[in-house]
Amino acid sequence: MQLPVFLITVLVFLSNLLPPIVMRHDVDESEYIELAEKYAGSVVNLSAGNGTFIQDNVIITAAHVADYIDMDNPVFVDGAEYPIQDIIIHPEFDMTRSIDNDIAILILEESVPDIEIAKLYSGQNELGKDIIFAGTGWAGTGDIGMIDGSIIKDNVMRAAQNRVDGITENGFIRFTFDEPGSEDALPLEGISGPGDSGGPALWFDGDQPYLIGVSSHQNGRGLQRPQGVYGVYEYYTRISEYKDWIREEIEN
C-alpha cells in the first residue's frame, strides 16, 4: 500500500467536507437509520466530521478532522452549544508525510448532560469483532458508490455493521465492504462515506459501547471505481494503540 493512496483519499474526503454511511443497495435505508437510533448515542456531529464522547466533556475524533475545527465554533448537541476548551492533536500526526497517528481529542468547557459514553477499548483482540459504524456525512450505496446524483446529503445519523478483518503495523484496524451474497456480508453491512471521518467503530458488550477505532481513510484496492463501492478497504485508527496517550492528555 503506497502513501500517496492514503493522502489522495483523505484529501478527497476533505474536499467533500470530509467521510455518512455507505449502505447495501438491497436493504432499505430506514434500517440503517433505526440502527443509529439504537446504537449511536455516543456519536456527535462536528463542523468537519464526527466524533465520540468518552467523557461528558471529552470527544475523540481524527486528527485530520481536528485540523479543520475552529476553536471559536462550538459543538452542538441536541441544539445546545458547548464551547471548545482545547483541541489536542497527536504530536506525531503530519499529513504531509503520512496519515499515521490520525487521532485527536476535543475538550469542551462544559459537560453535556445525559450523553451516552463510550469506553476506550484496551484489548488487543479486535480481529473478528462485529462493530457498529455511525455518522452523519453523505450517504450512498455500495453498488455504485459515492458519485454525483446518487449521494444523499441530509445529515441524518445512520449506522452500519462490519467486522474487523485486519490489523496494520502502523496503528490501524481494517474493514472490508463485503458485497451482498458473500459469506462475510452482514445484514446491515456498510462503511463510512464522505462526512463520517472521525466517527467511531463501536463494539458493544451488552449495552456498553466501546470505542475500538476512529474513521481515518479508505483504500480502493486498485478497483478504479468511485469511493464506497463493494470491495474497498476502510481503515480506522486503532484505539488500543493510543489509549495511554489519550488518558495522559485528559489527566493533564
Per residue in 241-251, pLDDT (tens digit) is 999 999 999 99
Q: What is the pLDDT of residues 196-207, one digit of tens each?
A: 789 999 999 999
Grid cell 477499548 is found at 121
Q: Domain-by-domain residue ranges, the chain?
A: 3-41+119-241, 43-117+243-251
pLDDT of residue 194: 65
Instruction: Kindly report which listed range (1-15, 76-90, 181-195) carries the lowest average pLDDT score.
Output: 1-15
pLDDT attached to residue 219: 82
Instruction: Using a cut of 0.85, tell me whether the model's pTM lies above it.
Output: yes
pLDDT, residue 62, reads: 97
Using pLDDT thresholds of 50, 70 and 90, give the confidence band for residue 88.
very high
Note the pLDDT of residue 53: 98
Q: Which residue has the higher pLDDT, 4 or 167?
A: 167
- pLDDT reading at 225 higher than 80: no
Q: Which triple of cell numbers denotes residue 222?
A: 486498485
220 vs 124, higher pLDDT: 124
- Would the pLDDT of 224 be above 60? no
- What pairs with residue 210 in β-bridges? 119, 203
Decide if 3-41+119-241 and 43-117+243-251 have a common fold.
yes
> How would residue 8 be classed by pLDDT, with cut points 50, 70 and 90?
very low
Q: Name the fold adopted by 3-41+119-241.
A: Thrombin, subunit H (2.40.10)
Residue 193's pLDDT is what?
A: 72
Mean pLDDT highest for which of 8-12, 23-27, 162-166?
Answer: 162-166
150-153 long-range contacts (CB < 8 A, ≥24 apart) are 151/193, 151/194, 152/20, 152/29
What percent of the chain stands above pLDDT 90?
71
CATH superfamily, region 43-117+243-251: Trypsin-like serine proteases (2.40.10.10)
Q: What is the pLDDT of residue 42?
A: 97
- Name the range with the highest mean pLDDT among 144-148, 150-154, 209-213: 209-213
Mean pLDDT of the chain: 87
| 237 pLDDT more than 60 | yes
Average pLDDT over residues 56-80: 95
